[in-house]
A and B are shown apart, each in its own frame.
Chain A
Amino acid sequence: MTLRIAVDVGGTFTDGVLLEEATGKIWLAKSLTTYVDPGNAIATVSQQLLEQYGAAKDVSQVVHGTTLITNSLIERKGVKTALVTTTGMRDALDIRRELRYDTYDLGLTYPMPLVDLEDRHEISARLGPDGSEWKAVSNDEVASVAGKLKADKVGAVAVCFLHSPVSSRHEEQVRSILAEALPGVPVSISSEVSGAIGEYERMSTTVANAFVQPLVKSYLERLRSRFTESGIEGRLDIMVSNGAFTTAVQAGEFPIRLLESGPAGGVLSAINCGTLQKADNILAFDMGGTTAKSCVAINGLPEITHTFEFAREKRFKKGSGLPAQTPSIDLIEIGAGGGSIAKISPLGLLQVGPESAGSEPGPACYGLGGENPTVTDADLILGHLDPDGFLGGTMKLDAEKAKQALAKVGSSVGLDALETARGINEIVNENMAAAARTHIAEKGLDARRFTLIATGGAGPVHAVDVARRLRIRRILCPIASGVGSCLGFLVAPTRADRAWSKVESVDALDRESLAARVATAKSEIVDEITATGAHADTIRWNLCVEMRYLGQGANVEVVLDPELTASKHELIEKFLEEYTSVFGRMVPGGIPEVVTWRVWGVSGETVRRFELGSTSRVAGEQTKRDLYIPEKNAMEQVDVLQRGALPPGTKLRGPCIITEKESSLIISHAADVQILGDGTIEVVLDEVAA
């Protein structure tokens, strides 16, 4: 018997899933996250899982993901970190890009850099923009910096030199000197951590990596020995932001790549559910207490972004945080969740979020003193939530308080409580649809061909109407969405990437040295992937190059045959094809050039069917509840069904409500509803918005 375990440490809960490889059966567990030592909750969850099924000795792999790294960056709980950089460049962390993220706010503030001024050291070694050496590394100079770092007792060092993406030799040289002089102190070099042109963003990424590295490394080591102690001898692998897993050793070297590991798992889980139902274009949609997240995936592959921002001064303001250049699943995040507060703007318009009531005092209907109406209050009045069944009945909701709060806000612009509730619901759904619409349009895709997959506590409540607004007809609601990230970890492939930047015209390309570079990258990737237990033969190769016209700043990605068979002429052809599809027209006389090469290998299955291991059906009775029906602009009584009581093959008609402990699927429109073979709920709307 072979078992695998997935564990996701989130801000509130630590979730776990146990998978029996041969059958696809899963068992679930959940515990409150233990902040002092997250390993405690992980141990609790693993134990709960193994009490339900199997034995520790049969566990071949544990895949782990966590938001703890993001939290320690936000809370600045890293080690004392030093920066070693090119002479004259240490203030790049303060100067940033000089941009104001809100033009009309005269009192803007910016996040403090992670490294104090006195811990930033400069050395005179210098490369030119083409990678040629202007000034060699002086061993004495580096040794003297190393002496200071030692005296200062720094816990980690970040090294970032100008033009290192073109040539990493100075960074490598300095790393080896520092590593020798400072045993036990990890050194992050920017050409490895980020490798992209633009010193501020690369420096910020490298510094953040160094800042959390010692903590992550020791955390993973402790976790490893803890599993061993409890009899789990299987591998420990870590989920990274790009939607794949890597070894705990790699993760310990590049913790910055773990920032979005939890959400990445959620997206993979949604893609898995969609792919099993033959959906090519997927919009993964998740909504929680304060935010809604969505992600576009085409043919089973999620969109990836290479820029990310953390520790924002204003949560939803782009540019107010610190940049991290690391491949991440491209999540569209907006400040719309169950706790988002509705108010009347100075223009007399109803607005929702991004301010949130949080869990205390929370929405007005919690009865904990909250006076502002929230999305949850609106949901209660519209019949989306059951006042007696919230969180499995553990919390009673007060409809009267919700009504009062809604009426109070709405009355100033002539809306009653129900109209206000309806407006909040429309606005929050439209905000989510708008964010996804922009994203889909940017890729030149047609939203009508998408399937929406809903997860998260509030996701299924709003999913059907969000889909309708996007003209998406089909909505899927997978099983065990409460532990969705873990299911994603279990379908994640293993992946290793190498990238390097060298700006040159296609004409100037030297194919031989390029081929040599690709070959080196591939052999490193083979080592990295086989370290996760995969066989080298199973690696699927990918090669792409970012190209642009000489003088442009933004690149288009050109996908090439991984064997590098394309001639220069074909390279240009492919670029022009890609360019035209993104921008509509070619640039006559423009000179195509290559910027960044990326090679990556992927191994492992990415789709699998899960089935709940415990087969006991919930004996749930069917009840009725008043639900707001938009088409009729009125409340109407509809069936409320217990999800656990519905066997596969069940067919229903919307409007109706399907409820389970973690959430409720609200269908307020005419639709065909079906329970599929693996327990997934499928909704197909009769009509979508005009």
Chain B
Amino acid sequence: MSKLNPIATEILWTRLVGIVDEAAATFVRASFSTLVREANDYAVVLTDRNGRNLAQSSQSIPSFIATLPETVRLFIREFGIETMRPGDVFITNDPWYGTGHLNDATIVAPIFLNDKVVGFAGVVSHLPDIGGRLRNPANRELYEEGLQIPPLRLLHAGEEDKVLIRIIRENVRVPDETMGDLWAMTSCVTSLGLRLVNMLNETEINLDEFASDIINRTEVAMRDAIRAAPDGTWTYEIHNDGPAELKGGVVVIRATVTIAGDTVSVDYEGSSDQVNLAINTVLNYTKAYSAYALKSLFAPWIPNNEGAFLPISITAPEGSILNPRRPAPVGARGMIGHLLPPAIFGALAEPLGERTQAAPGSPSNNIQITSLTGRKRYAINAFLGAGQGGGAGRDGASAVSFPSNLSNTPVEVLENQAPIEVQSRHILRGSGGHGRYRGGDGIGMTFKFRGDSPAMAAFMINRIKCPAPGLLGGSEGRPAKLEINGKAQAASGSHVLSNGDLVIIETGGGGGYGEAK
């Protein structure tokens, strides 16, 4: 007889989330990457033995949660469960099967109970460096973006793969930090596996049975929430700054959303074609951000497992910017992926009304600077949020990372890591669009480069040409700006910074929602 009931399942679920969060906490503490510890650019996920998403760390960015199970399924396909041994640890950074760019490594370990694989522990994390040209929208092919790590074993039954480690060390700018993070990730999946095994031994629960129970319950709740919304098909188009080769230098995302009974589908037919610029978004990532938007709208309160995504289907034409072919460059895929939630909100504004919100001034903006001080190399990678769109019952929040969840790096830490002087980091008051619910304000940041040797700097600043649109009569947010030594830059890109150079960045205001009274 099954031990599961509305009480036992709740208790097991609490414990499962608890052990994933424990593993995540240990990983963050051990990590070298500022992106992990300051910006939460990681996720820890537990799947069942079929790679079905069961539970994930609470403080993680939404996209990784959906992509990681895909990566687990890749390892299952590539290697076959029967070849896996205790102590095996798998690694890849393949964008198409992973998180959409080479900078994120996914590490997965099978979990054994009584000599059988019962599940997988996985962690995705943004590495301190992956070689290649710095994450730069101007890259024209994947090969320029850094080292590709195909699906491989990092540990063979506990033994390090010396060849692979040597190759990684030789191809990255900061090998100690990069390997340090990979080992921290390895400890994380190993300890997560141990904790799960302890829990299964203690509770004598069959994980497959428990997984099916919680996934089914989640699926039913998601379907109920979708069924409560009116049926129909709606289309919305959203624009952002793009390369010159696109018509008008503008990226077009066209989302057609259909609610039919207890299912919802999104099709991106009519969106821009893939480009020779690193803003292409692999289908895995397209799916992840679309699913995030739908879950936030329909059932934010349900857990984040496979069941939440079963009633959802996402399609994008092959060769489009949302489903590119290899070897398209993909490094800055967030610039496009982050547009998917506002595109879906726009399409569903009519049937869901107050639940939706206008577009944010993001996609996330990013600064990277690298060079040498004396003989020591430094590399910083900092994020800047923007104004969130108005709506969902309130004015948009200022200075947040939406739809991603990347925190800023303290000015004191930035100045410790790189020779810059941050002269200001402030709220751009009044930059959010007007409306019944106002858009949130963007962020301004001014810094002076003080290094003796020139540095490579890559800027990813969005919405310079195309500000965040308002929704249902709300007005648009103020556009973003990038200025170097008083000269406005028309678009994001790479620059060499010399001592005394002054950089001014302004991120976009969020769109307003509804007509202002």
Q: Is the CB of A349 within 8 A of B187?
A: no
Q: Is the CB of B425 within 8 A of A91?
A: yes
Q: Is the CB of A88 within 8 A of B422?
A: yes
Distance in angstroms between the alpha carbons of A213 and B365 in the assembled complex: 39
Q: Is the CB of B394 within 8 A of A349?
A: no
Option from B9, B37, B299, B407 in Cβ contact (under 8 Å) with A346: B299
Question: Which residues from B are CB-within-8-Å of A129?
Answer: 412, 415-416
- A residues apposed to B, CB below 8 Å: 87-92, 94-100, 102-110, 126, 128-129, 134, 162-163, 197-200, 318-319, 344-351, 413-415, 422-423, 426-427, 430-431, 434-435, 437-438, 441-442, 503, 549, 551-554, 582-585, 587-590, 689-690
Q: Is the CB of B402 within 8 A of A590?
A: no
13 cross-chain CB contacts under 8 A? A94-B399, A95-B399, A95-B425, A98-B385, A104-B301, A107-B392, A126-B421, A198-B410, A347-B214, A549-B180, A553-B34, A554-B28, A584-B191
Q: Is the CB of B40 within 8 A of A346?
A: no
The 8 closest A-B pairs by CB, nearest first: A88-B424, A107-B392, A423-B7, A104-B300, A553-B37, A554-B29, A106-B392, A347-B217
Within 440-476 of B, Cβ neighbours of A (below 8 Å) are at 443, 446
Q: Is the CB of A104 within 8 A of B14?
A: no
Within 76-134 of B, Cβ neighbours of A (below 8 Å) are at 128
Asked if B74 is at the interface of the complex by the 8 Å CB criterion, the answer is no
Option from A197, A414, A430 in Cβ contact (under 8 Å) with B413: A197
Distance in angstroms between the alpha carbons of A97 and B400 in the assembled complex: 8
A104-B295, A351-B10, A415-B6 known; A441-B22 Cβ under 8 A? yes
Nearest chain B residue, comparing its CB with the CB of A584? B187
Q: Is the CB of A200 within 8 A of B410?
A: yes
Q: Is the CB of A347 within 8 A of B425?
A: no
Q: Is the CB of A98 within 8 A of B37?
A: no
With both chains docked as a complex, state the minimum distance between the C-beta of A191 and any C-beta of chain B, in angstroms: 12
Q: Is the CB of A107 within 8 A of B427?
A: no
How many residues of B sit at the interface, in one of the four size bands? 35 or more
With both chains docked as a complex, state the minimum distance between the C-beta of B505 and any C-beta of chain A, in angstroms: 13
A100-B405, A344-B6 known; A109-B397 Cβ under 8 A? yes
Q: Is the CB of A88 within 8 A of B425?
A: yes
A346-B224, A349-B9, A415-B6 known; A442-B22 Cβ under 8 A? yes
Q: Is the CB of B416 within 8 A of A349?
A: no
Name, among B11, B355, B399, B400, the residue most crowded by chain A CB atoms within 10 Å (CB to CB): B11
Question: Which residues from A are CB-within-8-Å of B10?
Answer: 345, 349-351, 427
Q: Is the CB of A348 within 8 A of B217?
A: yes
Distance in angstroms between the alpha carbons of A423 and B60 in the assembled complex: 31
Distance in angstroms between the alpha carbons of A423 and B6 in the assembled complex: 9
Beyond the given A587-B179, A588-B179, please list 15 additional residue pairs across the A-B interface where CB-CB is below 8 A. A88-B446, A97-B407, A99-B401, A99-B405, A106-B297, A162-B415, A197-B412, A199-B411, A199-B412, A344-B6, A347-B217, A347-B303, A348-B6, A427-B14, A553-B37
Distance in angstroms between the alpha carbons of A347 and B303 in the assembled complex: 9
Nearest chain A residue, comparing its CB with the CB of B65? A103
Distance in angstroms between the alpha carbons of A435 and B401 in the assembled complex: 29
Q: Is the CB of A427 within 8 A of B7?
A: yes
Asked if B151 is at the interface of the complex by the 8 Å CB criterion, the answer is no
Nearest chain A residue, comparing its CB with the CB of B450? A128
Question: Which residues from B are CB-within-8-Å of A198?
Answer: 410, 412-413
With both chains docked as a complex, state the minimum distance between the C-beta of A89 and any C-beta of chain B, in angstroms: 7
Option from B9, B40, B406, B411 in Cβ contact (under 8 Å) with A89: B411
Asked if B149 is at the interface of the complex by the 8 Å CB criterion, the answer is no
Distance in angstroms between the alpha carbons of A583 and B176 in the assembled complex: 16
Q: Is the CB of B18 within 8 A of A162?
A: no
Distance in angstroms between the alpha carbons of A553 and B412 in the assembled complex: 13
Asked if B183 is at the interface of the complex by the 8 Å CB criterion, the answer is yes
With both chains docked as a complex, state the minimum distance between the C-beta of A424 and any C-beta of chain B, in angstroms: 9
With both chains docked as a complex, state the minimum distance between the C-beta of A428 and any C-beta of chain B, in angstroms: 10
Distance in angstroms between the alpha carbons of A499 and B142 in the assembled complex: 49
A441-B22, A442-B25 known; A103-B405 Cβ under 8 A? yes
Distance in angstroms between the alpha carbons of A126 and B31 in the assembled complex: 31
Option from B204, B217, B295 in Cβ contact (under 8 Å) with A349: B217
Question: Which residues from B are CB-within-8-Å of A413?
Answer: 6
Question: Which residues from A are CB-within-8-Å of B489?
Answer: none
Name, among B6, B61, B62, B426, the residue most crowded by chain A CB atoms within 10 Å (CB to CB): B6
Option from B21, B405, B425 in Cβ contact (under 8 Å) with A92: B425
Question: Which residues from A are CB-within-8-Å of B6?
Answer: 344, 348-350, 413-415, 423
Nearest chain B residue, comparing its CB with the CB of A198? B410
Nearest chain A residue, comparing its CB with the CB of B356? A106
Q: Is the CB of A549 within 8 A of B32?
A: yes
Distance in angstroms between the alpha carbons of A99 and B25 in the assembled complex: 17
Q: Is the CB of B412 within 8 A of A106?
A: no
Question: Which residues from A are CB-within-8-Å of B446?
Answer: 88
Distance in angstroms between the alpha carbons of A350 and B59 in the assembled complex: 24
Question: Which residues from A are CB-within-8-Å of B183?
Answer: 585, 587
Question: Which residues from B are CB-within-8-Å of A351?
Answer: 10
With both chains docked as a complex, state the minimum distance between the C-beta of A164 and any C-beta of chain B, in angstroms: 9
Q: Is the CB of A583 within 8 A of B9?
A: no
Q: Is the CB of B176 within 8 A of A590?
A: yes
Q: Is the CB of B407 within 8 A of A134?
A: no
With both chains docked as a complex, state the minimum distance between the C-beta of B69 and any C-beta of chain A, in angstroms: 17
Question: Which residues from B are CB-within-8-Å of A106?
Answer: 296-297, 300, 355, 357, 391-392
Name, among A553, A588, A690, the residue most crowded by chain B CB atoms within 10 Å (CB to CB): A553
Option from A126, A163, A430, A551 in Cβ contact (under 8 Å) with B32: A551
Distance in angstroms between the alpha carbons of A104 and B302 in the assembled complex: 10
Q: Mark B216-228, 1 if CB is under 8 A from A, else 0.
A: 0110110011000
Q: Is the CB of B7 within 8 A of A346?
A: no
Q: Is the CB of A431 within 8 A of B14?
A: yes
Distance in angstroms between the alpha carbons of A349 and B216 in the assembled complex: 12
With both chains docked as a complex, state the minimum distance between the C-beta of A160 and any C-beta of chain B, in angstroms: 11
Q: Is the CB of A553 within 8 A of B425?
A: no
Question: Which residues from B are CB-within-8-Å of A90?
Answer: 426
Asked if B38 is at the interface of the complex by the 8 Å CB criterion, the answer is yes
A200-B410, A346-B221, A348-B217 known; A109-B394 Cβ under 8 A? yes
A105-B300, A197-B413 known; A88-B423 Cβ under 8 A? yes
Q: Is the CB of B401 within 8 A of A103?
A: no
A95-B408, A98-B400 known; A128-B11 Cβ under 8 A? no
Option from A200, A345, A438, A588 in Cβ contact (under 8 Å) with B21: A438
Asked if B267 is at the interface of the complex by the 8 Å CB criterion, the answer is no
Distance in angstroms between the alpha carbons of A658 and B337 in the assembled complex: 61
With both chains docked as a complex, state the minimum distance between the C-beta of B291 and any C-beta of chain A, in angstroms: 11
With both chains docked as a complex, state the minimum distance between the C-beta of A392 and any C-beta of chain B, in angstroms: 33
Q: Is the CB of B18 within 8 A of A437?
A: yes
Question: Which residues from B are CB-within-8-Å of A200?
Answer: 410
Q: Is the CB of B393 within 8 A of A107?
A: yes
Asked if B15 is at the interface of the complex by the 8 Å CB criterion, the answer is yes
Asked if B26 is at the interface of the complex by the 8 Å CB criterion, the answer is yes
With both chains docked as a complex, state the minimum distance between the C-beta of B459 and any C-beta of chain A, in angstroms: 18
Q: Is the CB of B14 within 8 A of A434?
A: yes
Question: Which residues from B are CB-within-8-Å of A98?
Answer: 383, 385, 399-401, 406-408
Option from A87, A441, A549, A582 in Cβ contact (under 8 Å) with B423: A87
Question: Which residues from A are CB-within-8-Å of B141?
Answer: none
Option from A95, A128, A345, A583 in Cβ contact (under 8 Å) with B29: A583
Asked if B245 is at the interface of the complex by the 8 Å CB criterion, the answer is no
Asked if B13 is at the interface of the complex by the 8 Å CB criterion, the answer is yes
Asked if B269 is at the interface of the complex by the 8 Å CB criterion, the answer is no
Question: Which residues from B are CB-within-8-Å of A99?
Answer: 40, 400-401, 405, 407
With both chains docked as a complex, state the minimum distance between the C-beta of B162 and any C-beta of chain A, in angstroms: 13
Asked if B184 is at the interface of the complex by the 8 Å CB criterion, the answer is yes
Distance in angstroms between the alpha carbons of A422 and B6 in the assembled complex: 12
Question: Which residues from B are CB-within-8-Å of A551?
Answer: 32, 128, 174, 176-177, 180
Q: Is the CB of A554 within 8 A of B427?
A: no
Distance in angstroms between the alpha carbons of A399 and B195 in the assembled complex: 41
Question: Which residues from A are CB-within-8-Å of B30?
Answer: 552, 554, 582-583
Question: Which residues from B are CB-within-8-Å of A589?
Answer: 176
With both chains docked as a complex, state the minimum distance between the C-beta of B512 and any C-beta of chain A, in angstroms: 15
With both chains docked as a complex, state the minimum distance between the C-beta of A315 and any C-beta of chain B, in angstroms: 16
